[in-house]
């Protein structure tokens, strides 16, 4: 478990480059679901997702250890790599990111515009991740993982903002990719001594974390067949899983149809587009709304970086293919 001092230090690092993000309650959503819904708007960060926090923390660490000018390699489907590239510019570093084949063309363009060298490899994130590790070793570059205690410390800063702004929350819903965001919430809640229940959310066809949580052991799936690419994970991180099993209330699985409908509801209520991973949080609440009537809950709006073609499909009432 990270210490409060470590998380406060992470805040000092991160706030040199960005402001805290707001938490808003939206009346249309409250009316629809019969509870006080507070959205933590991580989409208002400088790269449009919460990942910028963990990346700033990691690049700060690399500068302390190696100095400026470090070359690194990582694997990403988008937000992790985009945020790394943003943070690398702040700390005068540069790197490459490995993305799966068929990755979002909009995201690949954004990665390149932010200064990252983009390499396409593998059919899944897990394959891209393995290739990135091998490539870093072969080229003598620093490999930046997608999950690390420094990433968790960075993510815990948004959780601290949320819990300090809304100390009486009864439940929080957060999407689960590799688990940094969920682990950051668990860390902050425990450090502040709160009783808030924390629910992770996954897609039904990318439910490795849900299966692992239920069976209390690491379970790997053969595919992650969902259009919510931010939570399309086959193999959980063992360290993240340990934290999640000890601190999460449950892991909820939602269908792609439910995610698409939730994205439409969020757009109707807030007039903003969200990523499918963010929409999954409202989908989880909607699926279990009877359990949360009249409660004060929060949804982690983890990001807004959604392809325009995918967004058009969703807003036109369709569920995109994986």
CATH of the domain at 87: 3.40.50.1100
- 253 and 307 in a single domain? The answer is yes
Average pLDDT over residues 83-106: 93
Whole-angstrom CA distances from 285 to 114, 134, 255 are 35, 40, 13
Quick one: pLDDT band at residue 215, thresholds 50, 70, 90? very high
Q: If we measure between CA atoms, which residue out of 210, 224, 216, 261 comes closest to residue 126? A: 224
**Claim to verify: residue 174 and residue 85 sit in the same structural domain:** no
Predicted pLDDT of residue 239: 96
Range of the domain at 113: 51-143
- Give 54-73 pLDDT, tens digit per residue: 999 999 999 999 988 889 99
pLDDT band at 51 (very low <50, low <70, confident <90, very high): very high
Tokens of 13: 């690092």
Please give the pLDDT value at position 320: 97
Q: Do 118 and 160 share a structural domain? A: no
Quick one: pLDDT at residue 1?
Answer: 76
Mean pLDDT score of the chain, rounded to an integer? 95
- pLDDT tens by residue, 139-179: 999 999 989 999 999 999 999 999 999 999 999 999 999 99
Domain identity same for 219 and 98: no
> What does the pLDDT look like over 219-256, one tens digit per residue?
999 989 999 999 999 999 999 999 999 999 999 999 99
In the chain, the number of structural domains is 2
Question: Which of 143, 171, 205 marks a domain boundary?
Answer: 143
- The reply to whether 226 and 291 lie within a common domain is yes
- Kindly tell me if the per-residue pLDDT of 132 is higher than 80: yes
Structure tokens at 101: 């084949």
Percent of the chain with pLDDT over 70: 100
Question: What's the distance, CA 217 to chain centroid?
Answer: 22
**What integer pLDDT is reported at residue 23 of this predicted model?**
98
Pair 218, 237 in one domain: yes
* 181-192 pLDDT, tens digit each: 999 999 999 999
Cβ partners under 8 Å of residue 236, min gap 6: 178, 179, 208, 209, 212, 218, 219, 220
Report how far residue 279's alpha carbon sits from residue 286's, in angstroms, rounded to the nearest whole number: 11
What distance in Å separates the CA atoms of residue 186 and residue 40, rounded to the nearest whole number? Answer: 15
Q: Domain ends where: 126, 143, 160?
A: 143
Residue 220 and residue 101 in one domain: no
Q: Which two tokens stand for residue 257?
A: 């149809």
How far apart CA 171 and CA 96 sit, in angstroms, is 38
On whether both 13 and 93 belong to a single domain, the answer is no
Per residue in 68-92, pLDDT (tens digit) is: 888 999 999 899 999 999 999 999 9
Whether residue 22 is predicted with pLDDT greater than 90 in this model: the reply is yes
Last residue of a domain, one of 113, 143, 173: 143
């Amino acid at each position: 478990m990270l210490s409060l001092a470590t998380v406060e230090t992470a805040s000092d690092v991160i706030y040199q480059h960005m402001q805290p993000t707001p938490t808003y309650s939206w009346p249309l959503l409250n009316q629809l679901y019969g509870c006080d819904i507070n959205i933590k708007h991580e989409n208002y960060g400088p790269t449009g997702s919460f990942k910028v926090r963990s990346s700033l923390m990691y690049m700060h660490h690399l500068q302390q250890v190696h100095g400026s000018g470090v070359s690194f390699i990582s694997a990403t489907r988008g937000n992790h790599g985009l945020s790394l590239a943003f943070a690398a510019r702040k700390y005068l570093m540069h790197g490459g990111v490995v993305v799966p084949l068929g990755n979002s063309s909009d995201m690949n363009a954004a990665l390149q515009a932010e200064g990252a060298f983009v390499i396409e490899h593998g059919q899944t994130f897990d394959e891209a991740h393995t290739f990135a590790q091998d490539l870093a070793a072969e080229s003598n570059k620093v490999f930046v993982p997608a999950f690390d205690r420094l990433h968790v410390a960075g993510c815990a800063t948004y959780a601290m903002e949320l819990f300090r702004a809304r100390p009486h929350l009864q439940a929080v819903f957060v999407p689960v990719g590799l688990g940094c965001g969920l682990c950051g919430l668990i860390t902050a809640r425990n450090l502040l001594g709160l009783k808030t229940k924390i629910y992770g959310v996954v897609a039904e066809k990318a439910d490795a974390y849900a299966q692992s949580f239920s069976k209390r052991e690491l379970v790997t799936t053969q595919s992650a067949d969902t259009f919510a690419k931010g939570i399309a994970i086959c193999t959980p991180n063992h360290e993240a899983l340990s934290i999640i099993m000890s601190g999460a209330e449950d892991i909820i699985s939602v269908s792609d149809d439910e995610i698409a409908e939730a994205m439409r509801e969020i757009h109707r209520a807030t007039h903003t587009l969200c990523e499918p991973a963010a929409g999954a949080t409202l989908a989880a609440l909607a699926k279990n709304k009877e359990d949360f009537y009249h409660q004060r809950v929060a949804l982690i709006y983890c990001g807004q970086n959604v392809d325009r073609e995918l967004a058009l499909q969703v807003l036109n009432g369709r569920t995109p293919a994986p």
